[in-house]
Structure 1
Amino acid sequence: MGNDLLKGGYDAVYSLGDLCLGAIQMKKNNLRPFSGPLDWMGTPLLPNVIQLFEKRFADFMLYENLRIVGHATPDMLLVSDDRNFVMSNHDFHTAENSLTQLTTYPQVKEKLDRRVNRLLEKLLTAQRILFIRTNATLEDTAELQRVLRSIIEHDFRILVVNHGPVSGIVEKHWPIDNVYSVELPDNEIWEGNNALWKQLFQDVHLM
């Protein structure tokens, strides 16, 4: 396989959405020693994630931008950061919050701020960072790479995983520096591709 670009050690590995899949696979492959701010968020549009980096997450999940959409599950609320088009469905427990009041918002915001601050610190100090994004176009990924390059002090790599009617790992050979793009089967993305994710990460480790 031609994923030599990814091989080696990293000081940090971060999921950039679009769902929890990246964070789940990081955990399965021992690449998730800490949580990132977007691990358990829904971020369907990569341009919004890019904007968060451009403004250093300054208005991420601010209370005045939040809207309670409904129930994500019987135990969790679905809450939208309408300014940044970010969806939270793992932060607000229904036992402590309601469809009209986010009682635990201060604690949730404190947790997210810690994760943001750690990310911003890693951008400046880490010698090598791996970012993982599912659901991305070539054009949006090129812009993400440009913005990250303007912020990050040292080396970084971006793994892009899209899904389609394929039978294994299909390399896309996008002409973007530091980017390794693949397509995985779309028939069962949550558990059906575990062996393929393991193959992608086979020579990737934390330093």
Structure 2
Amino acid sequence: MELTQLKGNYDAIFSLGDLCLTSIQLKKHNLRPYSGVFDWIASPDLAKVNELFENQFLDFFASKNLRVIGYADDNICVSDDGYNLVSNHDFGIEENTLEHLGSYSDVMKKYDRRIKRLLKEMKSAKRILFVRTEGTLQDAAVLQEVLSKIVKRDFSILLINHTHVSGLVERSWPLEKVCSLEFPNKDIWEGNHDLWEAVLSGIHYKPRFMSRFLKILQ
């Protein structure tokens, strides 16, 4: 899928990780209308994200798979070893300790809402954009296949890998739904703002109720 094909309107847009960088850039470009499941957790292994979708998020951050790593500023860093996920932002030190996650129930209620929203949009949205950093061609192919079984209508995947390139590079992967790009891997948090701008310009979030409203005005 070419970058030019990615442009246009979407009535649902979600980050698929692998870091907070994706959601930060989506928010910066007004493409993050609500919080998603992967916005603020680390999900370094795309194969495990594929498993999550295949399993309909069964045992997502299940207590049996949790491991407390340590402190992350004002939060407790917690790993889901089942899906290789890490939370740095959910368990504040006011309610949690290294020995006891006092806010676990509230955190899981929050994620349950986000999971339900994601799955609902995958069934009802006319056109969805999924944005992900880091992933192999093989894992991207599996992601496309898995999402094709869940998403009822049209969807596209923007996958950005950080590699030893000097600028924006577009890769011609043989995947109908995946636009594969490469960004420089030096200072990924602050060094590629212009590249994100170039890629996300021309992509717009248009909620379904707004589309219906505009049709009425026409």
**TM tier, smaller:** over 0.9
> Counterpart of 1:206?
205
Report deviation, 1:52: 0.4
Q: Deviations over 1:183-206 (max 9, x none)?
A: 001111001111110110110000
SS of equivalent to 1:156: strand
1:49 paired to 2:49: yes
d(CA) in 2 for partners of 1:72, 1:18: 18
Q: Secondary structure at the match of 1:196?
A: helix
Question: How many residues of Structure 1 are paired with residues of Structure 2 in the alignment?
Answer: 205
Task: Map residues 93-104 of structure 1 onto 2, 5 A cutoff.
Answer: 93-104=92-103
Q: Which has the higher helix share?
A: 2
TM-score (normalised: structure 2):
0.92
Map of 1:136 onto structure 2: 135
Percent identity of the aligned residues?
50
CA distance in 1, matches of 2:46, 2:145: 13
Residues 168-183 of structure 1 mapped to structure 2, 5 A cutoff: 168-183=167-182
Aligned residue in 2 for 1:69 = 69
Q: State the 1:72 CA deviation.
A: 2.0
- The answer for the alignment partner of 1:91 in structure 2 is 90
Q: Given residue 124 of structure 1, which amino acid in structure 2 is its aligned partner?
A: K
- Distance in 2 (CA, whole Å) between partners of 1:56 and 1:190 is 31
Instruction: Please list every run of 5 or more consecutive structure 1 residues that lacks an aligned counterpart in the other structure.
Output: none
| Consecutive aligned runs of 4 or more in structure 1 exceeding 6 Å deviation | none
1:9 maps to: 9
Render the CA deviation track for 1:56-79: whole Å, top value 9, x for unaligned.
112111222211111122x01110
- Partner SS for 1:36: coil
Question: 2:210 aligns to what?
Answer: none
User: Which whole-Å CA distance do the structure 2 matches of 1:149 and 1:16 have between them?
Assistant: 15
Is the 1:5–1:178 contact (alpha carbons within 8 Å) kept by the matching residues of 2? no
Report the alpha carbon displacement of residue 24 of structure 1 after superposing the two structures with TM: 0.7
One-letter amino acid of the counterpart of residue 94, structure 1: I
Matching residue of 1:60: 60
Tell me the alpha carbon deviations over residues 60-117 of structure 1, each in whole angstroms, 9 at most, x when there is no partner.
11222211111122x0111011111111111001122100000011110100000000
For structure 2, the 5+ residue unaligned runs are: 207-218
What's the C-alpha RMSD, in Å, of the aligned pairs?
0.9
Q: Report SS of the residue matched to 2:191.
A: coil
Equivalent-residue separation in structure 1 for 2:13 and 2:72 (angstroms):
27
Q: Distance in 2 between matches of 1:48 and 1:175?
A: 22
Residue 34 of structure 2 corresponds to which residue in structure 1? 34
TM-score, normalization by structure 1: 0.97
Aligned to 1:89, what secondary structure does the other structure show? strand
CA distance in 2, matches of 1:12, 1:59: 25
